[in-house]
Amino acid sequence: MDVFLPIAEVSVNIIAILSLSGVVGVLSGLFGVGGGFLMTPFLIFLGVPPTYAVANEANNILATSVSGSTTHYLKHTLDYKMGFMIVIGGSIGTLLGIWTFSYFKGTGKIDIVISLAYMYILAIIGTAMLIEGLGEIDKARKKIITKKKLHVHYWIHGLPLRMRFQKSKLYESAFTPIIIGLIVGFIAAIMGIGGAFILVPAMIYIIGMPTRLIPGTSLFVTIFVSVIVTFLHAFNYGSIDLILVALLVIGSIIGVQVGQKLGESIDSAGIKTLLAVLLLAVGIAIAYDAFFAEHATNEIVKIDVNNLNPLSMFIKKLSLEMPILYGLFSIVFAIVLGVGAAFIRRFFSNLRKKYSLKKV
Amino acid sequence: MSDIFKNLPTEIKKNKLKTGIFIGLSAYWGIILVGTFVSFS
């Protein structure tokens, strides 16, 4: 059951996209990560060109971040001030990332740069998590308990422009979240990810935020970073494909709910090791695809716009003739889907509570 | 230093899994570093 993507100009299997985005959503919900660094490589493996995979996954992340952030907003577990500081850095980082993306696109090296970026990020994170996960399992088996320092101070904590972050009960330099946001924004723009897997450890170990505020604040930051990435990709390259985005969002939002439920019953050291193995496996697959696999040169087929179905024709024409409006439409589309999903989840959650109370 | 080399065979036999993981990760890192160099040269 194939669908032709009018912007990416490739055909993809609907079931494959929905299943993969669902599986990645489950992993996101289970491990508490965005999933962008898994979904983008999967899209590339399915035949979506890397530049389109990056842009459309950024749009998908926008929807899922809005959904998660709305839930946290309703629970009041967000530090807006800290979030805005990170967003300031994130905005600058995103612009630098898009500029770098444009540079490599101009030199014709963007596909290999994206593949290499994924290989290195997955290798670094996978190796670190595997060592930590295996270490924890080893210590648990030998029943060794290690005492860790509550706070470790680095040079970054001595920077100027200190301010109070009331919600997180912190007094530290504003440069700390700004620099972190800059790095996250830069990587997000090039790789089409949310950056949560860098942001969350940075918030815990460098900024020192309380754990309960981290998921919500991280998702809040991801919204802004994804908006900028989506808009700039739509405006500069016209690479957002709304049909692909819709498929990705439907699969991932459903998957995240399942993953969160599963995560409540699995041990964390085991989860960490499994995720590390998964990251390394995906990294190996990307390395094989980039360095060893033979890629047949695809014939460039000129698509006559009049042969497309009405929806595809509308999307193609809007993307070509009004890129700014198209970019804004992509963003609003993702936000509406995300907010809608959050409220639907809340509705079913309340319904389930009422039903279980009635049973009692 | 000589102790490390002296005890290496027994340590490898005791921790086959860790040795395997170490070799696997080293191979993986070696491939991506060489691949990067080849791609940009």
Angle at the Cα of A353 from the Cα atoms of A351 and A359, rounded to 5 degrees? 105
Domain boundaries, chain B: 2-40
Measure in Å the smallest separation between the Cα of A317 and chain B Cα atoms.
37
pLDDT at A173 over 70: yes
Work out the average pLDDT over B17-30: 85
Mean pLDDT of A140-165: 68
User: With an 8 Å Cβ cutoff, are B35 and A290 in contact?
Assistant: yes
pLDDT tier, A178 (very low <50, low <70, confident <90, very high otherwise)? very high
Partnered with residue A11 across adjacent β-strands are: A4
Mean pLDDT of A283-295: 75
Instruction: State phi, psi for A240 to the nearest 5 degrees.
Output: -85, 130
pLDDT at A299 over 50: no
Whether A296 has a pLDDT exceeding 80, the answer reads no
Q: Indicate the number of domains in chain A.
A: 1
Of B25, B35, B40, nearest to A287 by CB-CB distance is: B35
Q: Which residues pair with A163 in a beta bridge?
A: A172
Predicted TM-score (pTM) of this structure: 0.73
DSSP H helical segments within A267-309, as ranges?
Answer: 268-291
Question: Token pair for residue A98?
Answer: 């898009």
Residue in A116, A130, A283 nearest the CB of B36: A116
Cross-strand pairs, A170: A165
The range of the structural domain enclosing residue A34 comes to 2-359
Instruction: Kindly list the residues from chain B whose CB atom is less than 8 angstroms away from the CB atom of residue A111.
Output: none
Does the structure show a pLDDT above 50 at A297?
no
Q: Measured between alpha carbons, how far is A38 from A118 in angstroms, rounded to an integer?
A: 9
